[in-house]
Structure 1
Amino acid sequence: MRAFDFAPLLRTSIGFENLNRLVDFATRGEGEAYPPYNIEKVSDDAYRISMATAGFRRDELDITAQDNVLIVTGRALDAAEGEGREFLHRGIAKRAFERRFQLADTIKVTGASYNDGLLDIQLVREVPEHKKPRTIQIDGQINGGIQPQAIGAVSDRQAA
Structure 2
Amino acid sequence: MTTRMFASPLFLGFDHLEQMLERASKNSSDGYPPYNIEQIGPGGLRITLAVAGFTMNDLQITQEDNQLVIRGRQADDSADRVFLHRGIAARQFQRAFVLAEGIEVTGASLDNGLLHVDLARPQPETRVKTIPINRPAGNGVGNGTAKVVDGSISRD
Class of the TM-score when normalised by the shorter of the 2 chains:
0.7 to 0.9
**98, 101, 105: which one aligns with 2:101:** 105
- Give secondary structure in 1 for the equivalent of 2:40: strand
Distance of 1:64 and 1:44 partners within structure 2: 25
Paired residue type of 1:42 = I
Quote the residue 1:8 is aligned against.
Answer: 8
* CA deviation map 1:21-60 (0-9, x unaligned): 3333455572210111111111110011110111111101
Q: Which runs of 5+ in 2 are unaligned?
A: 140-156
* CA deviation map 1:135-157 (0-9, x unaligned): 566xxxxx734213577xxxxxx
Larger radius of gyration: 2
Q: Indicate how the Cα distance of structure 1 residues 4 and 29 shifts in structure 2: closer, same or farther if over 3 A, else same.
A: farther
- Give secondary structure in 2 for the equivalent of 1:95: coil
Contact 1:111 1:121 in 2 (8 A): yes
Q: TM-score, normalising length from structure 1? A: 0.71
Most deviating of 106-115 and 22-31: 22-31
Q: Indicate how the Cα distance of structure 1 residues 21 and 146 shifts in structure 2: closer, same or farther if over 3 A, else same.
A: same
Q: Which runs of 5+ in 1 are unaligned?
A: 138-142, 152-160
RMSD: 2.8
* Count of paired positions: 138
Q: TM-score, normalising length from structure 2? A: 0.72
**Superposition deviation, residue 120 in structure 1:** 0.6
Q: Percent identity?
A: 41
Q: Indicate how the Cα distance of structure 1 residues 109 and 100 shifts in structure 2: closer, same or farther if over 3 A, else same.
A: same
